[in-house]
Copies of this chain bind each other. A is one copy, B any other.
Amino acid sequence: MSIILDGKKVSDVIEKTLRRKIKKLSGKLKLSIILVGENSASLKYVEKKQEKCHEIGIKCDVVKLNPDVSEEALLFKIKELNLSKSTTGILIQLPLPSHIKARKVLDFIDVKKDVDGLSSYYLMKILFNDEEIIPATPKGIISLLDEYKIGLRGKNVCVVGFSDIVGKPLVMMCLNRGATVSVAHVLTRDLKLHTSNADIIMTATGTPGLIKKNMIKEGAVVVDVGISKLGGRIVGDVDFENAKSRCSYITPVPGGVGPMTVISLIENLILLSKQIK
């Protein structure tokens, strides 16, 4: 019988601790989100982050920019927020339109306000095993595993998907914790060969049903970062209904990694507020 890695429950527990910290900071925290364009998934994510902030007593502004905004205008907006005394953390909702260089934009955020930890500076620190501000999704995944006392040291981990936002930092964080890591992606020829050796599978591709029951080792832990719409339902990368009986632990979608990502963002905001003082 598999145990559900309940991201909703764990994030609620973390939230309780954070509420106390936030109270002490007496309304001094403010998250500024920049949203370029009207991608419906992005709108949804931004809404969730804003809701959680308000729920928990943190100010949250959303700056909406047109999809055809120039890179220069976007950088100017970031500069304003970098200098703003009221903004604690700046988040650029990804993806950005293709005419904008995401790397340049992310590195333009003052690292003291980089709440998403996606600047080269923080990613480099992760690469050198000197973790400081960690991107919210990988941070949430590790917190979730920690809560269920699932260690990484000496484990075989297969990370599927190698994006700058999730896969890359996740791979490095697993290596930092002593895991043997296999990195699979869209060019991997025999995905099953890699997943079926893994004690822990972490998948972040956005391809519904990619990870099937027969690709999972008996008793493995499965973490599903994928979020896709399929027939009106929100589903992950894993064929959850069939696969779950084979796993020792598995995250549901929704209610697994999602809530952990949001709460990890709030944790980062509090960390940043301490740096500013």
Chain A residues with a Cβ under 8 A of chain B: 103, 120, 123-124, 127-128, 153-154, 156, 162, 164, 168, 171, 175, 178-185, 187-189, 193-194, 197
In the assembled complex, which residues on chain B have CB atoms less than 8 Å from the CB atom of A188?
A: 154, 180
Whether B175 and A180, one on each chain, are in contact in the complex, defined by CB atoms closer than 8 angstroms, is no
Whether A180 and B180, one on each chain, are in contact in the complex, defined by CB atoms closer than 8 angstroms, is no
In the assembled complex, which residues on chain B have CB atoms less than 8 Å from the CB atom of A197?
A: 193-194, 197
In the assembled complex, which residues on chain B have CB atoms less than 8 Å from the CB atom of A193?
A: 156, 197
In the assembled complex, which residues on chain B have CB atoms less than 8 Å from the CB atom of A120?
A: 120, 124, 128
A194–B182 Cα distance when bound, in Å, is 9
Whether A154 and B124, one on each chain, are in contact in the complex, defined by CB atoms closer than 8 angstroms, is no
- Would you mind naming 30 contact pairs between A and B with Cβ atoms under 8 Å apart? A103-B128, A120-B120, A120-B124, A123-B124, A123-B127, A124-B124, A127-B127, A127-B168, A128-B164, A153-B187, A154-B187, A156-B189, A171-B183, A175-B183, A175-B185, A178-B187, A179-B187, A180-B182, A180-B183, A180-B187, A180-B188, A181-B182, A181-B183, A182-B182, A182-B183, A182-B194, A183-B183, A193-B197, A194-B197, A197-B197
**Contact A175 to B162, CB < 8 A, known contacts A123-B124, A168-B127, A180-B194:** yes
A-B residue pairs, 8 tightest by C-beta: A182-B182, A180-B188, A178-B187, A120-B124, A181-B183, A154-B187, A154-B189, A180-B184
Least CB separation from A197: chain B residue: B193
Known contacts A123-B127, A124-B127, A162-B175; can you find 10 more A-B pairs with CB under 8 A? A120-B124, A127-B127, A128-B164, A153-B187, A156-B193, A171-B183, A175-B185, A180-B182, A180-B185, A182-B182
In the assembled complex, which residues on chain B have CB atoms less than 8 Å from the CB atom of A175?
A: 162, 183, 185
In the assembled complex, which residues on chain B have CB atoms less than 8 Å from the CB atom of A153?
A: 187
* Minimum Cβ distance to chain B for residue A154 (Å): 5
A142–B119 Cα distance when bound, in Å, is 28
In the assembled complex, which residues on chain B have CB atoms less than 8 Å from the CB atom of A180?
A: 182-185, 187-189, 194
A185–B194 Cα distance when bound, in Å, is 17
A188–B185 Cα distance when bound, in Å, is 22
In the assembled complex, which residues on chain B have CB atoms less than 8 Å from the CB atom of A154?
A: 187-189
In the assembled complex, which residues on chain B have CB atoms less than 8 Å from the CB atom of A168?
A: 127
* Minimum Cβ distance to chain B for residue A211 (Å): 15
A125–B166 Cα distance when bound, in Å, is 17
In the assembled complex, which residues on chain B have CB atoms less than 8 Å from the CB atom of A164?
A: 128
A185–B153 Cα distance when bound, in Å, is 11
In the assembled complex, which residues on chain B have CB atoms less than 8 Å from the CB atom of A124?
A: 120, 123-124, 127
